[in-house]
Structure 1
Amino acid sequence: MTNAGDTTAGELRSGKGHKDENFPVASKIIHPRHRALILAFYNFVRTADDVADHALLNDQTKLEQLDILEAELLGKGDSQPEAVTLREALAERGLSPRHAQDVLTAFRMDVTKKRYDTWDDVIHYCSYSAMPVGRFMLDVHGEDRATWVASDALCAALQINNHLQDCGKDYRDLDRVYVPLDALAEAGASVEMLGADRASPQLLQCLQALARRTELLLGESRALSTEVKDTRLGLEISVIDMFADKIVNLLKVRDPLSERVHLSKQQMLGYALSAMACGLFRRVTGQASTVRHVSGGA
């Protein structure tokens, strides 16, 4: 068993990087002056996430590692490169570490909380795990905080998409269930059904109902890409929005325990080009993003 003092958090990384995510991270759409800071934030968050999910660390050690990351983010030490790099990048831009600290709260919840009773409980988790990421991006670009409302909805939808995509793996590997227990009960499903190779009719009913509810969240975020002032950021949001739509459409009709509910790299490239073209057209013409991408396939 690894102890917190034996290694740095970065040495516990899973190997997953920013190019492996379901959404663009500091892509070439974003202005180059912002990319280093965004990647510093991503590397800090990814490191903390991998600590919380690490198979060989006990819960106490995970929490100690997360505490060390936060302490060094706030200037109390220099042993964690990811924390130091983000601290210096934030200081250079005069930005607060608050959003990174909020995400650490979510990872502590991952260690200590394995079940969520209601949809509202899951949204509360998203308010720490996902919403701060969007708020950070908006702050980096100097956007008005009025944009936080739509951003929060988009980020929560992205997070819940991910929960539904990985519901079987999260249960089997981590005994972690983000599917609300009341939603399972209402459909006549159980937590244990998440461990099967194929979803039962009851579980599939529950998961697809949650996907439809997530689609409503995406509807609440539809104006974000045109609300932001920064054109590059707006185009990036258009891409993320389209990816989220395509994934939620898969989740509405497929079984995440037995069928593919992720986008391929080729699909992501094609959708990104389409989203940027549509996003640019909306910005040039002043049209709000009011039409959702409703195709049911990938």
Structure 2
Amino acid sequence: MTSASELRSGKTHRDENFPVASWIIHPRHRALILAYYNFVRTADDIADHATLEDGEKLRLLDLLEAELLGNGDTQPEAVNLRRALAERSMPPRHALDVLIAFRMDVTKLRYENWDEVIHYCRYSAMPVGRFMLDVHGESTSTWAASDALCAGLQINNHLQDCGKDFRQLDRVYLPRDALAASGASVEELGAERSSAPLLQCLHALAVRTEALLKESKSLSAEVRDVRLGCEISVIQAFADRIVQMLKVRDPLSERVHLNPLELLGHSLGGIASELTRRVTGRRPVSKPAAGA
């Protein structure tokens, strides 16, 4: 196997829980954002590949990194991102950071506590938000609120896919101490529906994730770019709705994704809310996430 592209799952930016390089973003940024997305998606698909040996996964992730840094031209996603970044004189730091998370996915299957999960999010999710902010020339002072939003999005995804991750990859992002506190076990994730203790754990983690999302509420007001502010507002609307579902539903047996009509409704609502906020000068207030 010489090309990481051959291991792509087929998932594209249109299949994510949040908009990627949508029409809301200015066209001048979309090619670079898609180059970043395709690099990240390829690395993610390598780490999640069901039959590839761990050693080969790590070798391919190392190869992507090497070619992103200019050492070779055999991996299209790495080469395309390298060139797109060079056109903007941007460093590859946020792409290198996500590779750390994907190596963790290969080598680390369990997380002991919330802090370990947040540490994972520092490399799996936060670099994506930071990259978007850098593309738009925003201040690094926006990173704190962005980090909270991206961590919330990531943990939403962990909760949505907890059963699939366990069954297909033997990977569990639910903290062991949270499972133990509820009297649940990892093995219960393989069932068709959650036991009462597991459901208690999942709902408690959703509440904690909701606190992260509240901590990020000021982000759209902190960015100068109107289009980016609208995109953030849409993403926040999606995340808020998903976490509300996760607080009351069982992701092992119930649907916890937005359908196309819900996506459209929350998109229009998010854009309208942000434009109104900018016209009126109203500033959303972030709430510190206690214990997050």
**TM-score if structure 2 supplies the norm length?**
0.97
Question: Are the counterparts in 1 of residues 61 and 103 from structure 2 also a CA contact under 8 Å?
Answer: yes
Q: Which SS does the other structure have where 2:137 is aligned?
A: coil
Alignment correspondent of 1:48: 43
Alignment counterpart, residue 165 of structure 2, candidates 151, 163, 170? 170
Alignment counterpart, residue 242 of structure 1, candidates 231, 237, 242? 237
Identity level (%): 72
Alignment correspondent of 1:58: 53
- Measured in 1, the distance between the counterparts of 2:285 and 2:203 equals 23
Whether 1:279 and 2:256 are equivalent positions in the alignment is no
- Measured in 2, the distance between the counterparts of 1:264 and 1:96 equals 37
How many residues get paired?
287
Q: CA RMSD in A?
A: 1.0
Question: Are the counterparts in 1 of residues 61 and 99 from structure 2 also a CA contact under 8 Å?
Answer: yes
Alignment correspondent of 1:295: none
- Measured in 1, the distance between the counterparts of 2:283 and 2:124 equals 28
- C-alpha offsets along residues 133-187 of structure 1, whole Å, 9 cap, x if unaligned? 0000000000000000000000000000000000000000000000000000000
Alignment correspondent of 2:261: 266
1:89-238 correspondence to structure 2 within 5 Å: 89-238=84-233
- Measured in 2, the distance between the counterparts of 1:133 and 1:215 equals 20
Alignment correspondent of 1:86: 81
- Measured in 2, the distance between the counterparts of 1:7 and 1:248 equals 40
- C-alpha offsets along residues 250-272 of structure 1, whole Å, 9 cap, x if unaligned? 00000000000010122101110
Question: Are the counterparts in 1 of residues 216 and 286 from structure 2 also a CA contact under 8 Å?
Answer: no
- Measured in 2, the distance between the counterparts of 1:59 and 1:283 equals 49
Q: Which SS does the other structure have where 1:253 is aligned?
A: coil
- Measured in 1, the distance between the counterparts of 2:89 and 2:286 equals 37
Task: Please state how far the C-alpha of 1:199 moved relative to its aligned partner.
Answer: 0.2
- Measured in 2, the distance between the counterparts of 1:221 and 1:58 equals 38
Deviation beyond 3 Å, 4+ runs, structure 1: none
Task: Please state how far the C-alpha of 1:289 moved relative to its aligned partner.
Answer: 2.4
- Measured in 2, the distance between the counterparts of 1:126 and 1:291 equals 20
Letter paired with 2:69: L
- Measured in 1, the distance between the counterparts of 2:224 and 2:250 equals 39
Q: Which runs of 5+ in 2 are unaligned?
A: 288-292
Task: Please state how far the C-alpha of 1:290 moved relative to its aligned partner.
Answer: 4.3
Whether 1:10 and 2:8 are equivalent positions in the alignment is no
Alignment correspondent of 1:72: 67
Sort the Cα spacing of 1:62 and 1:20 in 2 relative to 1 into closer, same or farther, 3 A: same
Question: Are the counterparts in 1 of residues 111 and 173 from structure 2 also a CA contact under 8 Å?
Answer: yes
Sort the Cα spacing of 1:283 and 1:172 in 2 relative to 1 into closer, same or farther, 3 A: same
- Measured in 1, the distance between the counterparts of 2:175 and 2:87 equals 41
Question: Are the counterparts in 1 of residues 153 and 239 from structure 2 also a CA contact under 8 Å?
Answer: yes
Alignment correspondent of 2:28: 33
Task: Please state how far the C-alpha of 1:291 moved relative to its aligned partner.
Answer: 9.2
- C-alpha offsets along residues 190-209 of structure 1, whole Å, 9 cap, x if unaligned? 00011100000000000000
- Measured in 2, the distance between the counterparts of 1:147 and 1:176 equals 32
Task: Please state how far the C-alpha of 1:81 moved relative to its aligned partner.
Answer: 0.3
- Measured in 1, the distance between the counterparts of 2:278 and 2:4 equals 42
